[in-house]
Structure 1
Amino acid sequence: MNATSFDPTRVPHLLGAFAPVSDEVDIEDLEVIGELPATLDGTYVRNGPNPRFTPIGSYLYPIDGDGMLHAVRISDGRARYLNRFVRTPALVAEEKAGRALWGGLESMIMPGADEVGPELADTFKDLPDINVVRHAGRMLALAEAACPYRFDADLATLGREDFDGSLPAGMTAHPKIDPETGEMVVFCYALEPPYLTWSVIGSDGTVTRGPTPVAGVDEPLMIHDMALTARYVVLVLAPAFFDLDAAMAGGSFLAWRPERGTRVMLVPRDGGPPVWADDDAFWMWHSVNAYDDGPGAQAPVVLDYVEWNRLTIGPSTESGPVTARLVRARIDPAAGRMSRTVLDDARVEFPRIDDRRTGHRHRHTALATGTGRTDLLSGEYDAVRWYDTETGAEQTWDAGDLSVGEAVFAPEPGPEASSDDRGYWMTFATDRTDGESWFLVLPAEDPASGPVARVRIPVRVPLGLHGTWLPTEEP
């Protein structure tokens, strides 16, 4: 991309429901239409790209953009909203300058020492703008492949988190927490060897397995998400390769090479050699869940995920429509083979389950979807859809003029409420007609009936990426 010709006013993902906001607010006693369930006591936090200053050079959604955390605190049927930027050293430097100093990743614009000092000069900008996780008392804003940033209960940034130096390169934005062991399993890709590593952080926050290189990965490639079973770390290696030479010459930093196919890797959690299964090329932004389908070392692995027919960022040489659908892969570790079955052919993304089922059989999957409106941008959805793995049934709530985000599950508290139809799905939504934003709470037992509570947010909340429900009392 020619950085000098970049015009941010013509970038769709900087406009409309995606347009960034600059004000940080803290507003109590929000208006509630309907009734917030009395059992909900906690905070929903969502992250997303939100440039603090007008971008320069380039802007590639959803990779670029400063992180901004948006939170709704719920207790005793009342709600409070607050938002805060994730203040990285680069963002602090830009705030001092009063303008953007770093360009988007495609432009490769990095300030020199005369502008930002020797420590930040000629470095990439930290972008912890994708996801949120709480583990061992730490609340973390997660980036694509870098150290996360820790924040407190008021969303104030506490600093970069490298787990006492044990994870100096960080992790990607989608770690998985094993509900049985309490371990958080993470992976990280890099532009230099080792190109792919995985690590384990114990339930107490101590790194019990440091960065472990994955054998057989000898090129830098992008892997956005993972899955976890009791036996395996499940990684999908689609043919999206980094090409720094092309980027430095003004081309794309990502190259889609479908002739290479997609490989699914099962990395034994006990440290054994990985198992590979090859297939035709597809891209995966997000997994749903994975589990071992039976006892024994040779039991198949089931992986549910959203399958795209090609990479959806950067230039593409492929023609034809872009598709995204809910797919189940069945991987045979003994034979190194996999098969794929379409579960739901609706155009979907942002899949979520009851996180207590991570690594085990799950029943319900919530997904953002579209109803056929043609004026929505990529990454914008106007409905929420649920798929039942036991019955194959689907149900959809049409949000009408609202653009909705990822739906996150909040279980009813108490050990007796272990089923994933005992709780609520929650998400932010923005009205496309007037820009007004809402926080929606839908009942899990009948989500297609629509929200039981709509919380009016007095300021606009831009469409973002991933969030989590944090009960007041951490399990």
Structure 2
Amino acid sequence: MTAPAAFDPTRIAHLTGRFAPVTEEVDAVDLEVTGELPDDLDGVYLRNGPNPRFTPIGSYLYPLDGDGMIHGVWLSAGRARYRNRFVRTPAMIAEENAGRALWGGLESMILPGVDEVGDVLANTFKPLPDINVVQHGGRLLALAESDCPFRMSPELDTLGKETFDGRLPAGITAHPKIDPVTGEMVVFCYGLEPPYLTWSVIGPDGAVRRGPTSVDGVGEPQMIHDMALTRRYVVLVLAPAFFDIEAAVSGGSFVAWRPERGTRIALIPRDGGPVRWADDEAFWLWHTVNAYDDPDDGRVVLDYVQWPALSLGPGSPEGRSRQSGHHGLTRAVVDLAAGTVQRTRLDDARVELPRIDDRALTTPHQRLAVAADSGRIDGLLPGEYDALRWYDVRANGSAARVWNAGDLSVGEPVFAPVPGTRGSERGYWLTFATDRTDNTSWLLLLPAEDPAQGPVARVRIPVRVPLGLHGTWLPTEE
């Protein structure tokens, strides 16, 4: 085993306070509710996020490092229950048997040997299905960054690594997109060896309809976190974030930012046609909002949160961007004929974790929600937000509505539609929140008709939910 580098986890801000991991797995029923839970919501809200089972060794890079933990709140008939469970990969089980961390963080390259974990796991990288959770084709999946997801039971027990009957052995993205019309789930996967970038299609039945298909024009390994989907295209934004394994081995960053290379947008026809490329100045995005085909001129419209660069520094891939890097809600219009991109800033507010009503994916969306940094609070870490914002993008993003969360730090807002209201925007925005004064955590429900009024219900979670990443609402029935 490689000797651990000098590393003090107590100095990593994203291992403390509201980000600190929890190790207890809890079941609770009849949760305390402030306000009144809507009778017309019946389902479960799930959220995944980094949650190291043991004190990290070597390095820790939020939010990519850390074991997955899924938090679930089931709502039915005006009542709520809670359960949280680790995503138990074979590596985590080996660490539980040892009683300590055996794998180092991504930047440390610490891998256990045969004497510690046996032949199968020795000198392998640790799976990190800690970013997202989705359901598709009868499978509930905890998702990693371009790796195999892990399948979970409805009650959040880990069932094992998911390779889709062996058709996708290298894995998929942490941010697949499900077409609400066809029911297909479109995914991508990047790798350190050729082919560096592939895309695939999984049918609504969970069967792979298109196996890994190479994206022509990609000659080096690049990091891509999210994607978008239109009726005609898979949309991938290739920022100049290149993997540099030699630098990582010698103690440097494993991702190099090379702005002189610019950012390229790949439009991949879903029918398998040749890739169309558009070039732009360098920028980075963690998350897309949505994309769609412009019905008037055939161009592609992409909404996303733009960052000036990828900064993978100690503690957070957002680096020190809250203080120094400007980012905001942006619209890019891609002209396929000219191969150009025209970008428009929709809002200068510091925002992230954008979501829409998922039933509007691939089509022109009207409203979107984001977590926001209001600028009122000193001491918020990168990835921590104290407000929610909603935009009517048909009004060019100018109609922002804001709910300031006061003493609460809030996460990604997820839309839960009222059953039987397809085509309308009736429903609720759900998010976990943690009180900065006492570290209590809550599930908030805000009405979509007027979210700026604040929550109509707050569900008290019996344990603190670490500030984390992405979630989903799964209705019991449509």
TM-score, length-normalised on structure 2? 0.96
Letter in 2 for 1:419: S
Identity %, equivalent residues: 71
Note if 1:419 corresponds to 2:418.
no
CA distance in 2, matches of 1:129, 1:3: 23
1:361 to 355, 364, 370: 364
Letter in 2 for 1:452: V
Q: Report how far residue 318 of structure 1 moved.
A: 11
Q: Secondary structure at the match of 1:5?
A: coil
Q: Report how far residue 312 of structure 1 moved.
A: 3.0
Q: How does 1:389-404 map to 2 (within 5 A)?
A: 389-391=393-395, 392-404=398-410
Q: Is the 8 A contact 1:254 1:314 kept in 2?
A: no
Aligned equivalent of 2:28? 27
CA distance in 2, matches of 1:282, 1:5: 33
2:469 to 418, 443, 465: 465
Letter in 2 for 1:405: G
Q: Is the 8 A contact 2:253 2:312 kept in 1?
A: no
Aligned equivalent of 1:452? 456
Q: Is the 8 A contact 2:5 2:108 kept in 1?
A: no
Q: Report how far residue 163 of structure 1 moved.
A: 0.4
2:439 to 435, 440, 444: 435
Note if 1:346 corresponds to 2:349.
yes
Aligned equivalent of 1:303? 302
1:334 to 317, 329, 337: 337
Q: Secondary structure at the match of 1:147?
A: coil
Q: How does 1:94-109 map to 2 (within 5 A)?
A: 94-109=95-110
Q: Report how far residue 453 of structure 1 moved.
A: 0.1
Aligned equivalent of 1:142? 143
Structure 2: runs of 5 or more not aligned: none
CA distance in 2, matches of 1:122, 1:413: 48
1:384 to 369, 383, 388: 388
The C-alpha deviation readout for 1:147-189, integer Å capped at 9, x for no partner, is: 0000011100000000000000010100000001000000000
The C-alpha deviation readout for 1:250-288, integer Å capped at 9, x for no partner, is: 111011111111011100101111111111110000000
Structure 1: runs of 5 or more not aligned: none
Q: Secondary structure at the match of 1:118?
A: helix
Q: Report how far residue 418 of structure 1 moved.
A: 2.1
Q: Secondary structure at the match of 1:119?
A: helix
Q: Is the 8 A contact 1:241 1:255 kept in 2?
A: yes
2:411 to 390, 400, 405: 405
Q: Report how far residue 417 of structure 1 moved.
A: 4.3
Aligned equivalent of 2:120? 119
Letter in 1 for 2:304: Y
Q: Report how far residue 99 of structure 1 moved.
A: 0.3
Q: Secondary structure at the match of 1:356?
A: helix
Q: Report how far residue 194 of structure 1 moved.
A: 0.3
- Give the aligned CA root-mean-square deviation in angstroms: 1.5
CA distance in 1, matches of 2:424, 2:133: 24
Aligned equivalent of 2:312? 313
Q: Report how far residue 462 of structure 1 moved.
A: 0.5
Instruction: Count residues in correspondence.
Output: 469
CA distance in 1, matches of 2:299, 2:320: 33
Q: Is the 8 A contact 2:350 2:374 kept in 1?
A: no
Q: Is the 8 A contact 2:47 2:70 kept in 1?
A: yes
CA distance in 2, matches of 1:312, 1:245: 18
Letter in 2 for 1:347: R
The C-alpha deviation readout for 1:175-225, integer Å capped at 9, x for no partner, is: 000001000000000000000000000111110000000000010010000
Q: Is the 8 A contact 2:320 2:382 kept in 1?
A: no
Letter in 1 for 2:389: R
CA distance in 1, matches of 2:380, 2:341: 34
Q: Secondary structure at the match of 2:121?
A: coil
The C-alpha deviation readout for 1:353-398, integer Å capped at 9, x for no partner, is: 0000010010111000011122100000000001111223001100
Structure 1's consecutive aligned runs of 4 or more residues displaced over 6 angstroms after TM superposition are: 315-320
Q: Secondary structure at the match of 2:21?
A: coil
Q: Secondary structure at the match of 1:145?
A: coil
CA distance in 2, matches of 1:16, 1:379: 13
CA distance in 1, matches of 2:313, 2:260: 17
- Of 163-172 and 387-396, deviating more is 387-396
CA distance in 2, matches of 1:304, 1:32: 35
Aligned equivalent of 2:272? 271
Note if 1:91 corresponds to 2:92.
yes
Q: Is the 8 A contact 1:426 1:440 kept in 2?
A: yes
CA distance in 2, matches of 1:51, 1:205: 30
CA distance in 2, matches of 1:472, 1:150: 19
Aligned equivalent of 1:40? 41
CA distance in 2, matches of 1:399, 1:464: 17
Note if 1:131 corresponds to 2:132.
yes
CA distance in 2, matches of 1:323, 1:452: 33
Q: Report how far residue 4 of structure 1 moved.
A: 2.8
The C-alpha deviation readout for 1:310-359, integer Å capped at 9, x for no partner, is: 11323899999211200000001111111000111100000000000010
CA distance in 1, matches of 2:371, 2:150: 27
Note if 1:167 corresponds to 2:189.
no
CA distance in 2, matches of 1:155, 1:383: 29
CA distance in 2, matches of 1:4, 1:264: 38
CA distance in 2, matches of 1:314, 1:264: 25
Q: Is the 8 A contact 2:279 2:340 kept in 1?
A: yes
